Amino acid sequence: MFQLKSMQEKLVESEKMASLGNMVAGVAHEINTPLGVAITSLSYSEKSMAELLERAKNKSLSNAKFSKLGEETMTGLLLAQRNLSRAGELVNSFKQVSVDQSSEQIREFNLKDLVDDTVATLRPKFKNTEFSISADIPDDIKMTSYPSLLSQVIVNFITNSLTHGFKGMKKGSIVLSASYNSQDSIILIYKDSGIGIDEANWEKVFEPFFTTNRNKGNTGLGMHISYNLVTQKLGGDIVLNSRLGDGVEIYINLPIKVKSDK
C-alpha cells in the first residue's frame, strides 16, 4: 500500500514538473523573438548614431542628414523598447506562475492577474496556429487561497484541450470567464470549442490514468489532479458539461477564502 501511494505521489509530481517544463520551453522560445528584434534594432541605432557623430566631427552633417539619422536612431530605439517590454512581460508572467507552482501556500491574490499570467505563459503554444485563448475575468475579484494550485488546474485544462479537445481540428478557441457566485464564492468557467466528450466517458474524465491518448505518452493524470485540487485543497466543486462534437464546459465553484488544512 505504501509503495502504491509513493508511486502515485511521484507520478503526480512528475505531471506537475512536466507542465512547468512545457511552460519553460514555450516561454523561452517566445522570448527569443522580441530579444532578437531588440538586439537588431539597437545595433541599427548604434550605427546610425555612430555615423551622425562621425559626420558632426568632420563637419559634414547637413540638416537633412541629421534629421534622417536622428529618425533612424529613434525608430530603432523605440522598436527595441517595445520588444524588450514584451520580453519583460513574458518573464514577469512566467516568474509569478513558476514561483506559485513551486510553493503551495495560501495568500491573497487577484484572480484576473493570476489567470492572465497563467494564460500568458501558455500563449506560445498557440503561436502560428488557428487556436485562440482568451480570458474575461473581472478585475475586482480577490481571493485568499492557493494560487499555485489554481494555476495548475488552469494549465491542466488548457493542455487537455490542446491534446485531446482539438484533436484532428485545425482551429478552435478557449475562453475563461468568472463571476461572483455568492458573497463568499466565485464561479470560474472554462470552455473550449473542441470535439467534446462522449457521454459514456463523462464519469471517467476525472478518474486517475484515464486517457484516450495513452499511445502518445499521456498519463491520464492531468484531469484527475485538477479534480482533487479543486475539491480537496481549494475547497470547491467542479462540474463537467459536454457533448460529443460540441466542445467542453467546466464549471468550478470556489470559496473566496479557503480554509487552511493545517
How does pLDDT run across 11-55, given as a tens digit for each residue? 555 555 555 555 566 566 667 777 888 888 888 888 889 988 988
Residue 16 pLDDT: 55
Q: At 255, is the pLDDT very low, low, confident or very high (cuts 50, 70, 90)? A: very high
Nearest to 239 by CA among 255, 248, 230, 251: 251
User: What pTM does this model have?
Assistant: 0.60
Domain boundary pick from 96, 124, 155: 96
Residue 119 has pLDDT above 50, yes or no: yes
- Cell match 464519469: residue? 203
**Do 135 and 167 reside in the same domain of the chain?**
yes
| pLDDT-above-90 percentage for the chain | 24
CATH number at residue 189: 3.30.565.10
Number of domains in the chain: 2
Q: At 218, is the pLDDT very low, low, confident or very high (cuts 50, 70, 90)? A: very low
Q: What is the DSSP letter of 219?
A: -
**Do 71 and 150 reside in the same domain of the chain?**
no
Strands 171-182 and 130-136, bridge-based pairing? parallel
**Do 52 and 119 reside in the same domain of the chain?**
no
**Do 158 and 223 reside in the same domain of the chain?**
yes
**Do 110 and 221 reside in the same domain of the chain?**
yes
**Do 169 and 64 reside in the same domain of the chain?**
no
**Do 156 and 90 reside in the same domain of the chain?**
no
**Do 27 and 147 reside in the same domain of the chain?**
no
Residue 204 has pLDDT above 50, yes or no: yes
Q: At 207, is the pLDDT very low, low, confident or very high (cuts 50, 70, 90)? A: low
Q: How far from chain centre, in Å, is Cα 55?
A: 49
Q: Check residues 79 and 10 and name the one with the higher pLDDT.
A: 79
Hey, which residues does 257 pair with through a beta bridge? 144
191 by DSSP, 3-state: which? strand
Nearest to 248 by CA among 187, 113, 157: 157
141 inside domain: yes
The residues, ordered by sequence, that sit 6+ positions from 226 with a Cβ below 8 Å of its Cβ are: 152, 153, 156, 157, 206, 238
**Do 187 and 66 reside in the same domain of the chain?**
no
260 inside domain: no
9 inside domain: yes
Note the pLDDT tens digit of each residue in 141-198: 999 999 988 988 998 899 888 888 898 898 999 999 999 999 899 999 999 999 887 6
Q: At 2, is the pLDDT very low, low, confident or very high (cuts 50, 70, 90)? A: very low
Domain boundary pick from 96, 129, 146: 96
262 inside domain: no
Measured between alpha carbons, how far is 226 from 234 in angstroms, rounded to an integer?
10
Q: Under a CB-based contact definition with an 8 Å cutoff, are residues 31 and 91 in contact?
A: yes
Nearest to 19 by CA among 116, 148, 115, 132: 148
Domain enclosing residue 30, as ranges? 2-96
- In a 13 Å sphere around the CA of 190, the CA atoms on its Cβ side amount to 24
Hey, which residues does 176 pair with through a beta bridge? 135, 190
**Do 47 and 147 reside in the same domain of the chain?**
no
110 inside domain: yes
212 by DSSP, 3-state: which? coil
Cell of 124: 506560445
101 inside domain: no
34 inside domain: yes
- In a 13 Å sphere around the CA of 57, the CA atoms on its Cβ side amount to 6
Q: How many CB atoms lie within 10 A of CB 45?
A: 20
Q: Under a CB-based contact definition with an 8 Å cutoff, are residues 186 and 129 in contact?
A: no
**Do 20 and 65 reside in the same domain of the chain?**
yes
Q: Under a CB-based contact definition with an 8 Å cutoff, are residues 242 and 196 in contact?
A: yes
41 inside domain: yes
Domain boundary pick from 78, 96, 114: 96
Q: Check residues 89 and 21 and name the one with the higher pLDDT.
A: 89
**Do 21 and 127 reside in the same domain of the chain?**
no
AA identity, residue 102? S
